[in-house]
Structure 1
């Protein structure tokens, strides 16, 4: 995506590896203007459809991949360009747009089009449009991770425990799912090198 839409997509993509333990190359963000556009607007980048096509070719987009193109208007050339290459290689095409009758929605195999109504400031899609995109992205990515078995119940059994807070959470998950006391959970968590799912399995074998 481009602008706010691209940033919403990048934010969701960035959170998936640490939260669900999925390799970073499985969910990749492509934003018009490149990484610098995450911090500062790169005006005009959204009009470059060829840049999207080039970026996805460089990442070796293939028929087993899915392209989720995000555009509030559904008419952003950069987003539409991503569908061109997706169609060419046989990748699946999902559109997230606030305009159900847009070019992007029509080009998609699946179109997700939340109805947000007029923006408080006309044309400023970083407001209601951006918020709706963020909500849909969270719902979509979380649902996919559930289907892939990356959580158990409502617990993040595949998270990457990269901080003290997350290591404590990991041990608590082992205690809850494994049915062991806090000290045992901490020992198992450490012996599994911080792998929550493995530590839970070790705890269950003890039961």
Structure 2
């Protein structure tokens, strides 16, 4: 969590795997923290720090999502439920705020001027909301864009001292075959979308 201004923090989760010699390898990043059960205690420390920052910035926080994700579910739900017990958390949809100016319309059709906007995916935020509340995001669209583009982030990470698996950009099945043959890959590999979750 890196401070950018009094009301703007970069907040991302970093995934690592360890090899047989216990060396950490960077796998990918996520723009929101998830409460997978086996790391719940660690995440609680992060969330508590987040709550402390949100309370310091102001009392009204708005969690914005798209209507296609109408209900928070799975590993993210406990984070949302925990936040609700600690702060004045409002809930709203991107679609309801396409024309709003100077305020945020919540799920209950109330208008608020939040101290912080917690967007599920800041890349989907309407442009006028970004302009109206330029320093109130967690996360800002720029950090969301970086961590959701796995290949773009890989190119940055590979130039550091962090261990990272060799990664190739493929567009179709033919690309996969060519890369496997060219780089003599025989020990298995993982295919993941450049954005989003899952893989095979």
TM-score, normalised relative to structure 2: 0.31
Structure with more strand by fraction:
2
Q: Using CA pairs below 8 Å that are at least 6 residues apart, which structure has the higher relative contact order?
A: 2
The higher radius of gyration belongs to 1
Structure 1 length-normalised TM: 0.30
| Greater fraction of residues in helix | 1
